[in-house]
């Protein structure tokens, strides 16, 4: 049922999805839907959890890897690119519903992205570049990274669906921007 929903949401949007539509795609009767979810919003929230599970794994993979800033950036962008390609449906769903029409889903996504930022912040803390940073500053830096990751993922997705040749350009742009942020971070203490 979740798969059916996700498949429909490829070119639709949660608020415009219909109960009958989902059950038809799943090969079930309309009434069967209510055996599993009270609402379409509930199905949306379930999809959020499913979508962010794999994303969570991805982020941990990047954070776990030690190494210099350069290699870390390259690796992060690569992982994002691959993740978008391998979980296209999930990424599209998240991008589309993050500011979409269903409040419960919006809030679920935002809460989870907030947790990501906290996790990134925690991983940043022990690094030598973070010496002297307040927790607040670290959090704001982490949010910048997370927002940038989201933007990059959305750009990859759009490229994948319209002009795949653009992928390289997006990857190069993302790396450049991350390097810029990294430089600013190193210089912050001096300011």
Partner DNA sequence: AAGTTCAGCAAACGATTGTTTACTGAATGG
Partner DNA sequence: CCATTCAGTAAACAATCGTTTGCTGAACTT
Please state the closest distance from residue 131 (CB atom) to DNA, in A: 53
Tokens representing 69?
Answer: 């800033």
What, of a second copy, DNA, none, does residue 29 touch, CB below 5 to 8 Å by kind?
DNA
Cα–Cα distance for residue pair 144/134, rounded to 1 Å: 16
Site residues (CB under 8 A) for a second copy, limited to 106-145: 106, 110, 137, 140-141, 143-144
Spatial CA neighbour of 120 closest among 95, 94, 154, 147? 147
> Is residue 181 near a second copy by the rule CB under 8 A?
yes
Q: How far is the CB of 30 from DNA (least distance, A)?
A: 4
Q: What is the 3-state secondary structure (H, E, C) of 37-57?
A: CCCHHHHHHHHHHHHHHHHHH
Cα 117 to its chain centre, rounded Å, is 11
Binds 179: which of a second copy, DNA, none (CB < 5-8 Å by kind): a second copy
Query: Based on CB atoms, which residue is closest to a second copy, 77 or 154?
Result: 154
**Is residue 7 within 8 Å of residue 47, measured between CB atoms?**
no
Among DNA, a second copy, none, the one that 100 touches (CB under a kind-dependent 5 to 8 A) is a second copy
How many CA atoms lie within 13 Å of 39's alpha carbon, on the beta-carbon side?
12
Stretch that binds a second copy, among 26-34, 52-60, 82-90, 91-99 (CB under 8 A): 91-99
* Residue ranges that bind DNA, judged by CB under 7 A: 17-21, 23-24, 27-36, 39-40
Is the CB of 18 or the CB of 101 nearer to DNA? 18
Which listed residue (3, 4, 13, 122) binds a second copy by CB under 8 A? 13
Query: Cβ closer to DNA: 9 or 154?
Result: 9
Whole-angstrom CA distances from 48 to 5, 22, 74, 101 are 12, 17, 27, 14
Structure tokens belonging to residue 32: 């069967």
């Amino acid at each position: 049922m979740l798969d059916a929903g996700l498949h429909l949401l490829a070119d639709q949007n949660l608020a415009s999805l219909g109960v009958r539509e989902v059950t038809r795609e799943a090969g079930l009767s309309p009434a069967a839907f209510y055996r599993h979810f009270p609402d379409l919003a509930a199905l949306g929230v379930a999809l959020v959890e499913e979508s962010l599970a794999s994303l969570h794994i991805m982020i941990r993979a990047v954070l776990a890897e030690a190494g210099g800033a350069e290699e870390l950036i390259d690796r992060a962008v690569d992982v994002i690119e691959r993740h978008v390609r391998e979980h296209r449906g999930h990424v599209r769903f998240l991008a589309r519903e993050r500011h979409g029409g269903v409040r419960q889903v919006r809030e679920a996504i935002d809460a989870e992205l907030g947790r990501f930022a906290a996790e990134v912040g925690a991983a940043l803390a022990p690094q030598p570049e973070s010496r002297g940073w307040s927790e607040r500053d670290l959090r704001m830096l982490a949010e910048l990274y997370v927002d940038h990751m989201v933007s990059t993922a959305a750009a990859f997705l759009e490229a994948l669906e319209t002009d795949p040749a653009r992928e390289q350009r997006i990857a190069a742009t993302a790396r450049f921007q991350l390097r810029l942020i990294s430089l600013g971070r190193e210089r912050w203490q001096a300011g």
